């Protein structure tokens, strides 16, 4: 065997040590060709494969702003949606009805009395008539002049990588217009989740737009007082081909074993409406993947503090 000159040997050793150090630091993999791009950590996969932001990584659950940041701003308005994003929500949730002239408007009640102070059925008024109503003043003078937004306006606020939970409050008759608006938006199908208490709506969504995530909303403790078992929830979800379920956050019902059944059935598991940090912790312990809250910023802070080293 021929001996290498000592300078060559030492030089080779130094090169090897430097290469190993760069690999350990995540710079360039051993064996990579010269000029290879540095390795960068891949973002955590969020719901439906969406990447989560750096701040969102600190919380082990998706935080959904219920009707926007509705604790601090008037529900279902552009002000509440924008504030939700400012408060680092992972998604927004809002309610949809059809106006008399077939436009999708964002409002929770079938009547405008509660938020506008003026009685009137949403379905019996045109978009122009609904736009005349002030749905912000009831929350404070600084919100005076907030109008009922359209679906297109709310979708336009959704940042890249975030989601919108679109709750259909009427029936399947909304779907043609919903399909049109979604296709006209810049959002990918996985960013727009259709949710509804109506089994017919969810079934129709999955038939007409199988690419859209659709979650069935259910109350775990109906008024008769008998909790719904996981088997019942799963059976209904499968029958209507739902991708997930959005359940009332009942800690005495939604146990880790209950949640495990739901998730093992291949269903995404979300809960509503959680404005208590202890309840949120119980839901996370049970294994839910998404929590809907009126207080997205506050809840994130509470959950982040749990993960801060002491």
**According to the model, what pLDDT value does residue 306 have?**
84
**Contact of 39 with 28, CB cutoff 8 Å:** yes
Q: What is the largest CA-CA distance in the chain?
A: 97
Distance CA 50, CA 53 (A): 10
Residues 249 and 229: beta-carbon distance below 8 Å: no
Residue numbers in the chain where pLDDT is lower than 70: 1-57, 307-310
Domain count, the chain: 1
Q: Which of 100, 108, 131, 137 is catalytic?
A: 108
Catalytic position from the list 64, 66, 97, 212: 66
Q: Which domain holds residue 51?
A: 47-306
Residue 97: which H helix or E strand, with range?
strand 91-98
3-state DSSP: the chain helix, strand, coil percent, rounded to 5?
40, 15, 45
* CA 134 remoteness from chain centre: 27
User: Is residue 285 flagged as an active site residue?
Assistant: no
Note whether residue 3 is domain-resident.
Answer: no
pTM, 2 dp: 0.83
Q: Which two tokens stand for residue 165?
A: 């939970």
Say how many residues make up the chain: 310
Q: What pLDDT sits at residue 223?
A: 83
Q: Across all residues in the chain, what is the average pLDDT? A: 86
Chain segment 71-98, per-residue pLDDT in tens: 999 999 999 999 999 999 999 999 999 9
The CATH number assigned to the domain holding 264 equals 3.20.20.190
Q: What is the pLDDT of residues 143-173, one digit of tens each?
A: 999 999 999 999 999 999 999 999 999 999 9
């Amino acid at each position: 065997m021929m001996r290498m000159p000592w300078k060559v040997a030492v030089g080779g050793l130094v090169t090897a040590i430097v290469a190993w150090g760069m690999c350990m630091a995540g710079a360039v993999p051993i064996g990579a060709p010269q000029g290879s791009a540095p390795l960068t950590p891949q973002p955590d996969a969020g719901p439906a494969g969406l990447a989560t932001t750096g701040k969102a990584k600190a919380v082990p659950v998706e935080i959904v702003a219920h009707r926007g940041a509705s604790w601090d701003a008037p529900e279902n308005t552009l002000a509440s949606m924008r504030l939700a994003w400012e408060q680092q929500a992972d998604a927004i949730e809002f309610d949809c009805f059809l106006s008399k002239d077939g436009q999708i408007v964002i409002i929770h009640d079938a009547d405008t009395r509660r938020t506008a102070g003026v009685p009137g059925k949403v379905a019996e008024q045109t978009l122009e008539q609904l736009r005349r109503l002030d749905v912000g003043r009831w929350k404070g003078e600084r919100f005076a002049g907030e109008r009922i937004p359209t679906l297109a306006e709310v979708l336009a606020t959704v940042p890249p990588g975030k989601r919108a939970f679109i709750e259909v409050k009427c029936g399947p008759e909304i779907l043609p217009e919903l399909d049109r608006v979604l296709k006209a938006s810049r959002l990918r199908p996985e960013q727009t989740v259709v949710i509804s208490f109506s089994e017919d709506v969810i079934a129709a969504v999955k038939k007409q737009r199988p690419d859209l995530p659709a979650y069935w909303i259910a109350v775990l403790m109906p008024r008769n007082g008998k909790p719904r078992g996981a088997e019942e929830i799963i059976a209904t979800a499968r029958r209507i081909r739902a991708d997930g379920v959005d359940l009332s956050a009942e800690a005495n019902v939604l146990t880790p074993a209950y949640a495990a059944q739901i998730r093992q059935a291949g269903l995404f598991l979300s809960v509503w409406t959680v404005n208590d940090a202890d309840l949120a912790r119980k839901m996370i312990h049970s294994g839910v993947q998404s929590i809907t809250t009126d207080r997205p910023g506050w809840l994130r802070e509470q959950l982040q503090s749990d993960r801060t080293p002491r």
